[in-house]
Structure 1
Amino acid sequence: MTQDETELKPAQYLLEERIEAFKNKALLMESCEKYYLLLLSVLVSFISVFLANVAFARCGGLDLTIHKHHYEARATIDQSEDCSIGTYHLIIKTPGRKVSYFTVQREGWLRQMWFEPLNKSQQPSVVLWLQNVGSGSYGKLNVYVPSIKHADLYVRTKITPLSPTVKGYQGHDRYTVTDGSLYLSFPRYRPHDPNCCPSDGQAIFKYDFQNKKWIEQ
């Protein structure tokens, strides 16, 4: 073995050690990077869910307004109120009538509003669809019609809710107003269906104003 080889060996070992240390450091950094990325992903998911829940829990500031020629209906929820419970305010303006004001206790949030004639009437009615926040998403209609006794005002009329004993009914209501009629549709459940997966088709009911009940179509 020459002197040069003897002197080279320690330098070679030192270089190999440094390379190995660099590799270990790189692996450690890669492992830490993956950990931090995973932690960041979890944190972002948590913040997204939190913000979604906050946005859903606070649906105040809602403003539903319909203008039709000289007719106007406006339903609002105060800025500070929750979606699940509180009040809503309704203003109805029509030609030849006084402005009608309502402040109504509610359970659920205002899903949709219609402003059109019902049951062959010549005057428009206001239909408000309220939806519960719970897993069943049960709906409710609040309907305001021109008063017969007080020709210059609107009054709230009662809409009989669908019987909970209807076959396969577990909520998830959807309301529509078509050609002056109220319709309710919902998915039918079989006895052992989970809440996510109804398997017995779709049911459609139409409201009978004369007999005050829902009729299956």
Structure 2
Amino acid sequence: MYTKLMVTIALAAFFSTTVQAEPFFAQRVLQGVTFQVESPHDSSINQVIVRANMSGDSLGQMQAEADGTITNVEIEDLNADGYPEIYIYVNSAGSGSYGSLIAYASNRNKSLSEVYLPSIEDSPEISRGYMGHDEFFVGEGTFVRRFPLYQNGDTNSKSTGGTRQIQYKLLAGEAGWILRQDRVVEF
């Protein structure tokens, strides 16, 4: 009886202190285009809705599925064509915190197209030592992905191999936009 009561109290305390993640909402404006991003952040897989408009005219609404939760949103014009892009950074649940990107570009402020980031696994040289913990940011005309490098025997919580940074340029693709690897730096 006493053990059952203790378990009941422990479970009640756990569930009363478990906090649901807050829904995500962000609004960013660049070059007259307003982007709105929202996600419920209520599970390990979340729907993401991106809306864009300019002077009240809709450029479109896009939906994506995020493997994790949104950690940041940035808006930039990486290719300096006068039309902005939105970059939505996602980290997966779990100890690896594997990063992914959801991104869209304005097509001459008429519509939106997806921006594609090639997978780390597409390049054996780049994926060597990769175990997640990604950081993303934009700056100086490039999109940057940075992550710690793991050597044999390293645990996921402690890397000893330094850091790899991949810089990408935004280029027009066949059916949208692609972030093409420009430079890889290790430190």
How high is the TM-score relative to the length of structure 2? 0.76
For 1:185, the equivalent position in structure 2 comes to 146
Aligned residues: 167
Q: 1:195 to 1:174 in 2, by over 3 A?
A: same
For 1:147, the equivalent position in structure 2 comes to 107
Q: Greater relative contact order (Cα 8 A, min sep 6): structure 1 or 2?
A: 2
SS at match of 1:93: strand
Shift of residue 120, structure 1, vs aligned partner: 2.8
Q: 1:214 to 1:169 in 2, by over 3 A?
A: farther
For 1:213, the equivalent position in structure 2 comes to 181
Calculate percent identity across the aligned residue pairs.
19
Q: 1:193 to 1:50 in 2, by over 3 A?
A: farther
The CA RMSD over aligned residues, in Å, is: 2.8
Q: Which has the higher helix share?
A: 1
Q: Which has the higher strand share?
A: 2
The answer as to 2:106 corresponding to 1:138 is: no
1:102 equivalent among 58, 62, 67: 62
Structure with greater Cα Rg: 1
The answer as to 2:32 corresponding to 1:73 is: no
For 1:169, the equivalent position in structure 2 comes to 130
For 2:80, the equivalent position in structure 1 comes to 120
SS at match of 2:82: coil
AA partner of residue 155 (structure 1): S
* Distance in 2, Cα, partners of 1:191 & 1:134: 21
Q: Deviations over 1:148-172 (max 9, x none)?
A: 6xx6111112111223742211110
* Distance in 2, Cα, partners of 1:141 & 1:130: 6
Alignment map for 1:11-50 (pairs within 5 Å)? 47=13
For 2:174, the equivalent position in structure 1 comes to none
For 2:3, the equivalent position in structure 1 comes to none
Contact 1:60-1:77 within 8 A present in 2 as well: no
* Distance in 1, Cα, partners of 2:83 & 2:32: 12
For 1:157, the equivalent position in structure 2 comes to 115
SS at match of 1:189: coil
